[in-house]
Amino acid sequence: MTAAPEPEIAGELAEALRTARRVVVLTGAGASAESGIPTFRDALTGLWERYDPAQLATPEAFAADPDLVWGWYVWRRSLVARCRPNPGHGAIARLQREVGERGGGAMVVTQNVDDLHERAGAQDVIHLHGAIAQSRCADCGEKVREDGAEPAGGDGHAERAQGGGAAQGGGAPRDGGAEGRRIPPPRCAGCGGPVRPAIVWFGEALPQVAWRRAEEGAANADVLLSVGTSSTVYPAAELPHIARRAGARVVQVNPSSTGLEPAVHDDLRGPAGTVLPALVAAAFGP
């Protein structure tokens, strides 16, 4: 078997990245694909083959069939817990460090609900669509901590969540995975409402502070990297355009074509786990 060819990075792009003061890295599901987390458009296994993931990520789907949606998230949580950051995550963390050491700043903005950027060493990651490891009551909003214990400053009623068990309200489920299973969500002991993942579904507002910071970062960026996203979900998909209008160089890293191309200066076709380490090495050395 021959090794994959090294992606070619233009010297002039490497120079632009090396001298950039403000960098924004916007990531999507493709950034975690090589870690084993399926993207939203990939075919899923088991029960989920019959469902469009985007159709499960809505408040309407949860209201209509909470057991189906909760089961999907329990499965995804256990999958995320078992996955490890890939070289693309590592390169982003290194990029952030290198830009910081030169007196600038690199902001990592992700649409992903996993924590692989953090586990690779990235700092202050902005999660536009929430975090899969966290849960809250769908009715009263009470946070449920990962271990099901009382949330800091809360009155603790979610701690006594019933049904699927508060322990399933957070991290990896007790059974280590629930592929293809319907699971009733735990109930909030305070109000009896169903517990849901603390993530942003279609039609729901993004966390305000996170969105404002991302928007401001894009508007002030010298370089914006759009990594592993189909650029179809708004308002996140607006960020590269905000950056471009403000004069930033926009770089896309993706093995496939996306609708973002007209706004892109550098279209680096390939998987993030190969292209990003090459790009960061070209800019800052091996």
- Catalytic residue IDs: 129
| Other C-beta atoms lying within 10 Å of the C-beta of residue 236 | 23
Please identify which residue in 79, 230, 243, 248 interacts with ligand BJW, judged by CB under 6 A.
230
Residue selected from 30, 148, 193, 217 as contacting ligand BJW according to rule CB under 6 A: 30
Q: Which of 104, 232, 263, 265 binds ligand BJW (CB under 6 A)?
A: 232
Does 252 sit near ligand BJW (CB under 6 A)?
A: no
Burial of 63 (0-12, 13-18, 19+ CB in 10 A): exposed
Are residues 15 and 284 in contact, defined by beta-carbon separation less than 8 angstroms? no
Between 70 and 201, name the residue whose CB sits nearer to ligand BJW.
201
- Amino acid found at 169: G
Buried b (16+ CB within 10 A) or exposed e, 202-231: eeeebbeebbebbbebbbbbbbbbbbbbbb
Q: Report what 211 binds from ligand BJW, Zn ion, none; CB cut-off 5-8 Å by kind.
A: none
Return the number of the residue (39 or 150) whose C-beta is nearest ligand BJW. Answer: 39
111 binds ligand BJW (CB under 6 A): yes
DSSP state of 268: E
Q: Could you give the strand order of the β-sheet that contains 223-227, starting from the edge strand earlier in sequence?
A: 126-127, 105-110, 22-27, 223-227, 249-253, 266-268
Strand partners, 137: 195
Q: Report the site for ligand BJW in 35-64 (rule: CB under 6 A).
A: 39-41, 54, 57
Binding residue for ligand BJW, selected from 255, 263, 265, 267, defined by CB under 6 A: 255
In angstroms, what CA-CA distances link 85 with 30, 63, 266? 12, 33, 25
Nearer Cβ to ligand BJW, position 29 or 221?
A: 29
Among 20, 24, 33, 108, binds ligand BJW (CB under 6 A): 33
Contact flag: residue 87 with ligand BJW (CB under 6 A) = no
Q: Does residue 66 bind ligand BJW (CB under 6 A)?
A: no
As a whole number of angstroms, the distance between CA 9 and CA 21 comes to: 20
Residue 204 sits in the site that holds ligand BJW (CB under 6 A): yes
Residue 271 in the binding site for ligand BJW (CB under 6 A): yes
Does position 137 interact with ligand BJW (CB under 6 A)? The reply is no
| Contact of residue 233 among Zn ion, ligand BJW, none (CB under 5-8 Å per partner type) | ligand BJW
**Under a CB-based contact definition with an 8 Å cutoff, are residues 213 and 125 in contact?**
no
Using CB under 6 A, list all residues that contact ligand BJW: 28-30, 33-34, 39-41, 54, 57, 111, 113, 129, 199-205, 228-230, 232-235, 253-256, 258, 271-272
